[in-house]
């Protein structure tokens, strides 16, 4: 049994779905679980539906959702196919959910889940038209989580039981959704944006699959974003640890939570291109590898916060633990942290409301200041050439350098690629 994951870019329109057909035909005789994201930018559209309080805007967005999927379906299916009735019911159900939208996390998960439900039903139907039958499974019946609705934590014991009881390991192929799950009460939850990679990892782990493949619009894991750096290298092999570090630093080819479940069971992960089928991509295993070309990784829209001890004492363990506990309670991720004798600084994804809230909550304990609109760069396995090329011309506000990694928060005219 193997697990494949296809993201939104690989199923963005009818032609892309036909390309997926071609890939799956090559594996028609292999037991397989196929995990699929919402088509194209559908999740962004449904997030706009959830956010909007303007009735006319919501109606227009839902019409866009409907027309987008119908256009693809009309290019893939016969006019009388049962998918069209199913999809009409799905759209009406979405409208009912929106009427009762309270703009909370529970309603967010309910509304955005319609993208994955639509894409997987359409792909299953179109594959059936071509003579390849995959059993459709609702991921909410497979992946069970605790009570948080967004970024929910997986209940591994329940998930393993539901997966094993739902999926035969021999002779069958299945299709299910990435990103979505359900809690103990059966209510829809989500695993976090770009969480479809993690969905596939969960299923591969529960099934003890032979391999997990993520099909991307890039040839594998690259040493840098080709939209920023002119020269990049595609890594042929990486270890679990190397790949996990790179995802933490901001590599977008793999969701950060993907690696651990696979490493626990020594399941190889392959990242490869859905457009270059002769390219083997990047293989990630436990095996040690030779030193790699430096990886240059950027994070944009960063804020740098500095906490200065207010009573003229030095920073101690209580100060540090107080801040870390606060961050943990508010589910805030720190991208870089540094202490001095009298201050604690850390870099996080920018959130102006949260920054002001923190400033108020720590009044009397710290004097707090922050800079926003910054960038964070990590050079893994740096050398002098990489260092000089990346840092030249930028105003560096904070930096760290270890034996293998260089990291810096900086201000400069480098824009995030669209």
Residue pLDDT, tens place only, 297-331: 999 999 999 988 877 788 888 888 888 898 888 87
**Inter-residue contact 297 to 246 (CB < 8 Å):** yes
What is the distance between the alpha carbons of residues 20 and 405, in angstroms, rounded to a whole number?
Answer: 38
State pLDDT tens for residues 82-125: 999 999 999 999 999 999 999 999 999 999 999 999 999 999 99
Report pLDDT for 327: 86
**Inter-residue contact 181 to 190 (CB < 8 Å):** yes
State pLDDT tens for residues 366-401: 888 889 999 999 999 999 888 888 877 789 999 999
Task: Report the interhelical angle of 105-129 vs 14-25 (nearest 10°).
Answer: 60
Mean pLDDT for 24-29 is: 94
Which of the two residues, 49 and 307, has the higher pLDDT score?
49
Give the closest residue to 5 by CA, choosing from 88, 109, 123. Answer: 123
Tokens of 349: 């994804």
Q: Which residue has the tokens 């119908």?
A: 70
What is the distance between the alpha carbons of residues 246 and 252, in angstroms, rounded to a whole number?
Answer: 9
Any idea of the CA torsion for 343, 247, 147, 182, to the nearest 10 degrees? 170
Report pLDDT for 322: 87
Cβ within 8 Å of residue 275, ≥6 positions away: 19, 217
Q: How far is CA 37 from CA 114, 172, 178, 194, 263, in A?
A: 11, 21, 5, 9, 23
State pLDDT tens for residues 244-270: 999 999 998 899 999 999 999 999 999
Burial class, 383, CB count within 10 angstroms (exposed 0-12 / middle 13-18 / buried 19+): exposed
Confidence of residue 289 (pLDDT cuts 50, 70, 90): confident
Q: Which contiguous run of DSSP H or E holds residue 86?
A: helix 83-99
């Amino acid at each position: 049994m193997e697990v494949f994951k296809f993201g939104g870019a690989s199923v963005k329109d009818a032609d892309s779905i036909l390309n997926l057909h071609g890939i799956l035909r090559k594996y028609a005789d292999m037991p397989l679980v196929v995990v699929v994201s919402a088509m194209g930018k559908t999740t962004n559209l449904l997030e706009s539906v959830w956010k909007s309080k303007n009735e006319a805007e919501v109606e227009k967005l839902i019409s866009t959702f409907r027309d987008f999927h119908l256009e693809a379906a009309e290019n893939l299916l016969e006019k009388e196919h049962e998918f069209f009735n199913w999809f009409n019911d799905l759209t009406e159900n979405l409208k009912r959910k929106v009427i009762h939208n309270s703009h909370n996390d529970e309603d967010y998960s309910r509304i955005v889940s319609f993208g994955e439900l639509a894409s997987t039903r359409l792909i299953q139907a179109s594959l059936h038209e071509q003579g390849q039958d995959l059993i459709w499974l609702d991921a909410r019946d497979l992946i069970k989580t605790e009570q948080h609705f967004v970024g929910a934590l997986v209940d591994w014991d329940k998930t393993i039981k539901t997966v094993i009881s739902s999926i035969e390991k021999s002779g069958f192929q299945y299709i299910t959704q990435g990103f979505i799950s359900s809690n103990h009460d059966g209510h829809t939850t989500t695993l976090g944006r770009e969480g479809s990679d993690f969905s596939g990892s969960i299923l591969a782990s529960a099934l003890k699959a032979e391999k997990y493949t993520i099909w991307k619009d890039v040839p594998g894991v690259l040493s840098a974003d080709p939209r920023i750096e002119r020269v990049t290298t595609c890594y042929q092999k990486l270890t679990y640890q190397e790949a996990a570090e790179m995802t933490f630093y901001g590599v977008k080819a793999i969701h950060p939570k993907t690696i651990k479940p696979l490493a626990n069971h020594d399941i190889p992960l392959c990242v490869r291109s859905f457009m270059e089928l002769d390219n083997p991509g990047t293989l990630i295993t436990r095996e040690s590898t030779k030193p790699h070309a430096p990886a240059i990784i950027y994070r944009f829209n960063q804020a740098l916060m500095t906490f200065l001890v207010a009573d003229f004492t030095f920073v101690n363990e209580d100060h540090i633990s107080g801040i870390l506990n606060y961050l943990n309670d508010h589910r805030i991720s720190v991208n870089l942290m540094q202490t001095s004798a009298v201050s604690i600084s850390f870099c996080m994804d920018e959130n102006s409301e949260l920054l002001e809230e923190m400033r108020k909550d720590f009044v009397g304990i710290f004097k707090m200041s922050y800079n926003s609109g910054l960038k964070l760069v990590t050079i893994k396995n740096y050398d002098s050439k990489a260092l000089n090329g990346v840092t030249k011309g930028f105003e560096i506000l904070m930096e760290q350098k270890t034996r293998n990694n260089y990291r810096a928060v900086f201000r400069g005219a480098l824009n995030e690629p669209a």
